[in-house]
Structure 1
């Protein structure tokens, strides 16, 4: 009998400073780089500015293919940064969406296969949220921090 699978890693409040900074930067990167109202879903691994990504256009039809994509992204990102994050960018609101759920299982499988304690976080122009724990951060108007400021 196979050992039980570990649960999907999820964020717990309060979020540590590193995770907060990475997810805020991912949100800001999306706000600054994507001006289209509708754009394809993308999965990113690493940290903003040092990440790899897969743009899902057209959508992958198979969970196994999505798991292979996340596995490759996590492997590549671990060569770029010591503590990679995994996030999905998409248009829309900060509420669960079909795209989030299609990537959640494959992302969890890939992270477990590599022994990485990372979970998938969803990023939109309004903020980010963890679809497992529903920990979130939302901004009305996100702006870059002045040079030299912290958090």
Structure 2
């Protein structure tokens, strides 16, 4: 008789993590919020070259912002900052977004990826979706999926 075989141990998947990545087709409400984030960036920042600013909340609603300079934040500190900003701005029944407004073109940069990983870590710790996009004067981009929208002339 053969010895009893052990069933293959599968790791427990843990709690279902909410989707934070933006995929096509993009929800109309989310499109409107992201367009508003680009409009606010254009209206508030007149300089062509400026330091990146990380925002948390709802464009046109309750938000918190942090201008990035030479703070030298590591991954853990970026995650803690985002968690604190989410707790400060969360409104029941409303989505919370993270967006990094910066100068330049739509291509992905190191600062984008650093804040993306912090947003994913904060989302996992908070147990909620926390979409993160990069906002420039003419576009928004989800650096994790490559989904974006561009405008030649953005009008209010």
Please indicate the TM-score interval, normalised by the length of the shorter structure: 0.7 to 0.9
Match of 1:35 in 2: 46
The TM-score normalised by the length of structure 2 is 0.83
Tell me whether 124-133 or 72-81 shows the greater mean CA deviation: 72-81
Task: Map 1:108-123 onto structure 2 (within 5 A).
Answer: 108-123=120-135
- 1:97 corresponds, among 91, 100, 109, to 109
Misfit runs of 4+, over 6 Å: none
Structure with larger Rg: 2
Secondary structure of 1:118 counterpart = coil
* Alignment CA distance shift 1:120-1:27 (3 Å): same
- 1:25 corresponds, among 27, 32, 36, to 36
Structure 1 unmatched runs, 5+: 145-151
Cα deviation code 1:99-131 (max 9, x no counterpart): 101111111111111111122111100110100
Alpha-carbon distance in 2 for matches of 1:27, 1:76: 22
Aligned CA-pair RMSD: 2.1
* Alignment CA distance shift 1:91-1:136 (3 Å): same
The TM-score normalised by the length of structure 1 is 0.86
- 1:69 corresponds, among 74, 81, 87, to 81
- Does the aligned pair in 2 maintain the 1:67–1:109 contact within 8 Å? yes
Cα deviation code 1:54-85 (max 9, x no counterpart): 11122433111111111111111114872111
